[in-house]
């Protein structure tokens, strides 16, 4: 479903080019759960951002089936992401003036999609947010805010959900709950999920673990 060919991303530091992703070629099948692990600065988040079209490669390509995401201009790329890809970040990025329900359905409104109320109800129930739908983000715990962000990532029923350190700002109990809920949603709705994580316990539940070192997949 997702294929990269000789994917590279370099950053200029003075006269020196620093490779963040260095010649990565990989394939991810539909429905797979992939964990990307590695030390800080190894390039794993940069790789995830390239996979999601949030960053442009210096060289190489990212394909979703036959669509070369790397060659789409800004507006078509944003439209493609909105429909086909959900994102969960370490920071929750919730809109403070909107309620939990409004934050969750916001991507559907952007995509001019009718909200599937039954599906929305399933998401809210699975993520244990039933008694929080009218609350503002400031009235939520960190775990509740991240569960809201997870529901938002799934609301358009994307084929792919990309998660960048989704438990990085949570305590161990809340982090484990969020991880279990992401795994449950993936099984329930058959999405392809790619997660960058430092949590090896979470990574061990994946179908495959990709280890990144100096921008290269080493195992």
One pLDDT digit (tens) per residue for the chain, 219 residues? 899 999 999 998 888 888 999 999 999 999 999 999 999 999 999 999 999 999 999 999 999 999 999 999 999 999 999 989 999 999 999 999 999 999 999 999 988 889 999 999 999 999 999 999 999 999 999 999 999 999 999 999 999 999 999 988 888 888 889 888 888 888 888 899 999 999 898 899 999 999 999 999 999
Helix (H, G, I), strand (E, B) or coil at 124: helix
CB 174 within 8 A of CB 142: yes
Residue 193: the pLDDT is: 96
For the 31-56+74-209 domain, the top CATH level (class) is: alpha beta
Residue 59, SS3 per DSSP: strand
pLDDT of residue 106: 95
pLDDT of residue 4: 96
Residue 15: per-residue pLDDT: 82
CA distance 154 to 213: 30
For the chain, the C-alpha Rg in angstroms (whole number) is 17
β strands within the chain, DSSP E: 2-13, 16-28, 33-37, 59-64, 67-68, 85-88, 160-164, 192-196, 208-213, 216-217
> Domain map of the chain by residue range?
31-56+74-209
pLDDT at residue 158, rounded to an integer: 93
Between 117-126 and 100-110, two packed helices, what is the crossing angle to 10 degrees? 130
pLDDT of residue 199: 87
DSSP H or E segment with residue 76: helix 74-84
On whether the CB atoms of residues 90 and 169 are closer than 8 A, the answer is yes
pTM (2 decimals)? 0.92
């Amino acid at each position: 479903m997702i294929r990269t060919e000789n994917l590279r991303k370099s950053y200029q530091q003075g006269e020196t080019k620093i490779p963040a992703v260095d010649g990565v070629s990989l394939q991810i099948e539909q429905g797979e759960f992939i964990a990307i692990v590695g030390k800080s600065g190894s390039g794993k988040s940069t790789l995830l951002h390239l996979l999601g079209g949030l960053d442009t490669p210096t060289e190489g390509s990212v394909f979703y089936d036959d669509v070369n995401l790397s060659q789409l201009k800004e507006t078509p790329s944003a439209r493609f992401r909105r429909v086909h890809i959900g994102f969960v970040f370490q920071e929750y990025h919730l809109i403070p003036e909107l309620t939990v329900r409004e934050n969750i359905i916001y991507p559907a409104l952007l995509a001019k999609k009718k909200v599937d109320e039954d599906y929305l109800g399933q998401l809210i129930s699975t993520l244990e947010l039933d008694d929080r739908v009218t609350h503002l983000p400031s009235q939520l715990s960190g775990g509740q805010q991240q569960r809201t962000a997870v529901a938002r990532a799934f609301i358009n029923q994307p084929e792919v959900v990309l998660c960048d350190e989704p438990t990085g700002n949570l305590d161990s109990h809340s982090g484990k709950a969020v991880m279990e809920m992401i795994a449950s949603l993936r099984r329930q709705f058959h999405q392809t999920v790619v997660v960058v994580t430092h949590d090896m316990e979470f990574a061990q539940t994946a179908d495959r673990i990709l280890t990144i070192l100096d921008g290269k997949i080493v195992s």
